[in-house]
Amino acid sequence: MRLRFTKMQGAGNDFVVLDATDAPLALSPAQLRRLGDRRFGVGADQILVVERATRPGVDFRYRIFNGASGDEVEHCGNGARCFVRYVHERGLSDKRSVRVETVNNLLTLTLRDDGRVSVDMNRPVFEHAALPFVADGLAPRPLGGFERWPLALGDGVVVDVAVLSMGNPHAVCRVDDVARAPVAELGPQIEAHERFPRRVNAGFLEVVDRGRVKLRVYERDAGETLACGTGACAAVVAGIRLGWLDARVEVETRGGLLAIDWAGADPAGGWAPVWMTGPAETVFDGEITL
C-alpha cells in the first residue's frame, strides 16, 4: 500500500498525520507501528487519522494511535493543535475553529492570529473509574481540597500522585527539579503500575511559581516525549486543585511552551473546561509503502 502522510510536531511531540476523509483507512497495528518506528518507518510518537465526522454539528473525527504499540487511545492534546493546522493547510476546512469528536470527547480547535492554536480540551474527570485507577486499601494524602495517592514502586520508593483523566489517564507527581527527576526510572513503574489497569501517563511537575511550571511526561506507550498536551492540562489542573497554582499557567516542556487556563469549578455546576494554547507545525510531506 502506498500511503501519503504529513509529518507534524507540536512542542516537539511528533506525529504522522493521515487523511482518511475520502476513504476509510484500516491500518493494522503492525502497519501503525511501522509508521511510528524511527528506524524502519517514518517515526512519530503518535499517528493521527483525520476522518469525516459521524454526527451533526461536528466537522471531523479525530483518531489517535500510539506509535510504539499501534494501540488506539482516547486523546492527544498536542496532536489536536496539529489537527486543525492540517485540515486548514490541506483545504479540508476554511473554518478557523473546528469541532472534532474523539472516541470519548468533543473538542474545539482554533487557529489564532498569532500563529498558535487554542484547544478547548473539555472538562477534567476526577472519578477514578474514568482512568481507571484502583485506590482500594490506599489512604489518600489530602491537600487543598484534592488528594494525592501514595503509589508504592520498587525498592521501597513511594511516590504521591494526583490522578485525573483528560479523556486519557494521568498520574502527576511533584518534584523539586524536573531536569534531575528520575523520569527514566520511575516513569515506566508508574505507567505500568497495577493500580492503573489500562496504564497511565506519568507527569513530573516542578512548580516555578503560581503561574509557571516545568513538566516532563513519561507517556503511556511512548516513553518520555518532548511534550504532552493532555499531560500539561492534567498537571496544571492537579496543581490548581492542590493549591499550588493560579488559573493561568505557562508550562515549560522540553519541546516548547504551552499555556494552560483552567477556572476550576464551573459556576453552572461541575468543572470548567481546560484551555490549552501552543504551537503546531508541519515538518514535511511524504509517501511510504506499507
Ligand X SMILES: N[C@H](CCC[C@H](N)C(=O)O)C(=O)O
Q: Tell me which residues are annotated as active site.
A: 76, 228
Q: Which range of residues in 98-106, 111-119, 202-210, 221-229 is near ligand X by CB under 6 A? A: 221-229
Sites for ligand X among residues 67-96 (CB under 6 A): 73, 76-79
Judged by CB, which is closer to ligand X: 65, or 146? 65
Residue from the set 36, 201, 203, 279 that interacts with ligand X by CB under 6 A: 201
What's the min distance (Å) between Cβ of 225 and ligand X?
6
Residue carrying the nine cell digits 487523511: 19
The pattern of x and - marking residues 168 through 197 that bind ligand X according to CB under 6 A reads x-----------------------------
Residue 90 assigned as binding residue: no
Residue 77 assigned as binding residue: yes
Interatomic CA distance for residues 122 and 74, integer angstroms: 13
Q: Residue 223: beta bridge partners?
A: 219
Interatomic CA distance for residues 175 and 189, integer angstroms: 16
Taking phi over 0 as left and psi of -120 to 50 as alpha, with beta for the rest, 65 belongs to beta
- Grid cell of 44 as nine digits: 512519530
What's the min distance (Å) between Cβ of 249 and ligand X?
16
- 100 contributes a contact to ligand X by CB under 6 A: no
Residue from the set 6, 9, 13, 189 that interacts with ligand X by CB under 6 A: 13
Judged by CB, which is closer to ligand X: 143, or 257? 257
Residue 13 assigned as binding residue: yes
- 147 contributes a contact to ligand X by CB under 6 A: no
Tallying the residues shown for the chain, one arrives at 290
Sites for ligand X among residues 231-270 (CB under 6 A): 231
* φ/ψ of residue 115, rounded to 5: 90, -15
What does DSSP say about strands 248-253 and 212-219: parallel, antiparallel, or unpaired?
Answer: parallel
Question: Three-class SS of residue 125?
Answer: strand
Residue from the set 51, 147, 206, 219 that interacts with ligand X by CB under 6 A: 219
Interatomic CA distance for residues 112 and 115, integer angstroms: 6
Residue 122 assigned as binding residue: no
What's the min distance (Å) between Cβ of 229 and ligand X?
3
Give the burial class of 282: count Cβ atoms within 10 A of its Cβ; 0-12 exposed, 13-18 middle, 19 or more buried. middle
- 66 contributes a contact to ligand X by CB under 6 A: yes
Residue 108 assigned as binding residue: no
- 45 contributes a contact to ligand X by CB under 6 A: yes
Interatomic CA distance for residues 79 and 280, integer angstroms: 8
Residue 230 assigned as binding residue: yes
Interatomic CA distance for residues 271 and 274, integer angstroms: 9
Question: Three-class SS of residue 217?
Answer: strand
Show the DSSP H helices in 90-204 as ranges. Answer: 183-191
Tell me which DSSP letter residue 99 carries. E
- 6 contributes a contact to ligand X by CB under 6 A: no
Interface residues toward ligand X, by CB under 6 A: 13, 45-46, 66, 73, 76-79, 168, 201, 219-222, 225, 228-231
Q: Residue positions in the annotated binding site?
A: 13, 46, 66, 77-78, 168, 201, 219-220, 229-230
Q: Residue positions in the annotated binding site for substrate?
A: 13, 46, 66, 77-78, 168, 201, 219-220, 229-230
